[in-house]
């Protein structure tokens, strides 16, 4: 990447209360607030990272997961480079809603080829005692959604948080490399054209 810092737009999605703001604050500031309030609309924070000698500024967009804020968050999906879909392992509904979040993202980000878009899935709050969603079920869902990488995280005790965010950058790099290597009529594929053509549905 010739020594330049690349700006990456990373969107955090998932049901209200699964811990998106907490994950962002843990990753960016290494802090945790047990009284974290619901986000209204969107907020973003930047963090500089280095992955395999390339430097990036991750611009992390933390969205409001509550249904009533849908119209406030969806305009911010466009131009995303990767998306972290988050559920809480003690909230089965937040896990069931992953498919809805993935569809909502692809539709409003205007992306047709979801399989070739870098999603990373986070099962958050693994520190809790009353876990309901198993890692096995979560991995099965990820396999059915383009083999997205899965991380079990805790914003509270910092388990796997850095790894999960950095995995989004790695996934993006991996997919860019794959697309560059895949010939189409003798030429390489333009990743932007493939990944950002219009999606057809959303509920």
Ligand X SMILES: Nc1nc2c(ncn2[C@@H]2O[C@H](COP(=O)(O)OP(=O)(O)OP(=O)(O)O)[C@@H](O)[C@H]2O)c(=O)[nH]1
Residue 35 or 203 having the CB closest to ligand X: 35
Instruction: List the interface residues with ligand X, window 37-96 (CB under 6 A).
Output: 38-39, 64-66
CB of 36 to ligand X, least distance (A): 4
Nearer to ligand X, 95 or 191 (CB): 95
Told to check if 97 binds ligand X by CB under 6 A, we report: no
Name the minimum Å distance from CB 12 to ligand X: 8
Q: Which of 83, 150, 154, 169 binds ligand X (CB under 6 A)?
A: 154
Q: Which of 111, 121, 138, 155 touches ligand X (CB under 6 A)?
A: 155
From 9, 11, 19, 89, residue interacting with ligand X (rule: CB under 6 A): 19
Closer to ligand X by Cβ: residue 97 or 124: 124
* Number of residues counted as binding ligand X (CB under 6 A): 22
Sheet containing strand 6-14, strands side by side: 42-51, 54-63, 6-14, 82-88, 119-124, 150-152
Question: Please, which residue, 6 or 38, has the CB nearer to ligand X?
Answer: 38
Site for ligand X in 103-142 (CB under 6 A): 124-125, 127-128
Q: By CB neighbour count within 10 A (0-12 exposed, 13-18 middle, 19+ buried), where does 192 fall?
A: exposed
Q: Choose one: 3-11, 14-22, 96-104, 168-176; the region binding ligand X (CB under 6 A).
A: 14-22
> Three-state SS across the chain?
CCCCCEEEEEEEEECCCCCHHHHHHHHHHCCCCCCCCCCCCEEEEEEEEEECCEEEEEEEEEECCCHHHHHHHHHHCCCCCEEEEEEECCCHHHHHCHHHHHHHHHHHCCCCCHHHCCEEEEEECCCCCCCCCCHHHHHHHHHHCCCCCEEECECCCCECHHHHHHHHHHHHHHHHHHHHHCEECCEECCHHHHHCCCCCCCC
> Which position among 10, 11, 21, 87 is part of the footprint of ligand X (CB under 6 A)?
21
> What residues line the site for ligand X (CB under 6 A)?
14, 16-22, 34, 36, 38-39, 64-66, 124-125, 127-128, 154-156
């Amino acid at each position: 990447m010739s020594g330049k810092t690349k700006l990456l737009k990373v969107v955090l999605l998932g049901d209200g209360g699964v811990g998106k703001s907490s994950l962002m604050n843990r990753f960016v500031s290494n802090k945790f607030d047990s009284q974290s309030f619901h986000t209204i609309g969107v907020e973003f924070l930047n963090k500089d990272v280095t992955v395999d000698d390339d430097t990036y500024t991750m611009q992390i967009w933390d969205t409001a997961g509550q249904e009533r804020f849908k119209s406030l968050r969806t305009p911010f999906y466009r131009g995303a480079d990767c998306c972290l879909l988050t559920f809480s392992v003690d909230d089965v509904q937040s896990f069931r809603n992953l498919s809805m979040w993935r569809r909502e993202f692809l539709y409003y980000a205007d992306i047709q080829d979801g399989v070739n878009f870098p999603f990373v899935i986070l099962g958050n709050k693994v520190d809790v005692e009353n876990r309901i969603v198993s890692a096995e079920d979560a991995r099965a869902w990820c396999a059915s959604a383009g083999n997205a990488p899965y991380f079990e995280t805790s914003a509270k005790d910092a388990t796997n948080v850095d790894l999960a965010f950095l995995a989004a950058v790695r996934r993006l790099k991996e997919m860019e490399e794959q697309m560059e290597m895949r010939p189409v009529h003798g030429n390489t594929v333009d990743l932007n054209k493939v990944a950002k053509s219009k999606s057809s549905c959303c509920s």
